[in-house]
Amino acid sequence: MTERLPDVLTEDEWKAFIRQFNLKAPTSLRNACLFTLMRDAGLRTCEVVGLKITDVKHDELDGEPIALLEIRVTKGGNGNGNGEKRVARVVYLTDEAERLLAMWLERKSQLGLGRAKHVFTTLKGEPLEGAYLREVCARKGAAAGITWRLHPHALRHSFAVDLLEHTGNLAMVQDALGHRDPRTTRIYAKVRNSSLARAMARRKQLAQPDRQALTDRLADLQRQIAELQEQIGGDER
């Protein structure tokens, strides 16, 4: 039985999707930010809705400041037995994710929601529901012209495949996703291989000559040669 590969966004699909959000509107800015975190940092739905202000940290990388998130609320639970949440993993933000996060936190403060513990809240300061993310994702995906039903976890899949393509390192992808079992991560290698197979197959198809086109072109050249020969013969006469 063929194993079903995870849904993955193309770069064009992602750009079309994120363009659906008007950053001037508070809820739209918030949604663009959280979906970008899922796409650029591989967050699960439960992780992004459970993200707390205290989980947002800053550090340095190669002498440059960098934003990071300490992921505590994650799949399967990660308590330490004392009712506290330990850090399951750390993820680092892209420039765009960091920019949107800073914009949202500033807007959130302007809305009088600065004291809310969660990063992403409703305009009443309440935590978001996973069902809401799924509804928005599907609706905006359809508006973007994506032909399959987009769901939040596809953003995490897209992050994983992109990271694997850039690094070629499954262990690094496993760490970034927080997978305990490396077998879970290997599915992304299959996506990568299937992408390679499709690319090579298309290349092969492009390399195959169009026999009918060649035949038509040859006939056209023969007609042109015959016309030239006739002209040359007429000039000689």
Has residue 237 got a pLDDT over 70?
Answer: no
Q: Which residues of 190-201 are buried (b: 16+ CB within 10 A; e: fewer)?
A: ebbeeeeeeeee
For 23, other C-beta atoms within 10 Å of its C-beta total 15
Has residue 179 got a pLDDT over 90?
Answer: no
Pick the CATH number of 11-155 from 3.90.480.20, 1.20.120.420, 3.10.580.10, 1.10.443.10: 1.10.443.10
With a CB cutoff of 8 Å and minimum separation 6, the contacts of 199 are none
Q: What confidence tens digit (pLDDT) does each residue in 94-146 have?
A: 899 999 999 999 999 999 999 999 999 999 999 999 999 999 999 999 999 99
Q: What confidence tens digit (pLDDT) does each residue in 43-92 have?
A: 999 999 999 999 999 888 788 888 888 888 666 554 444 445 677 788 88
**Domain segments of the chain: what residues?**
11-155
Distance CA 115, CA 100 (A): 19
10: Cα within 13 Å, side-chain hemisphere: 9
Distance CA 166, CA 176 (A): 13
Has residue 211 got a pLDDT over 60?
Answer: no
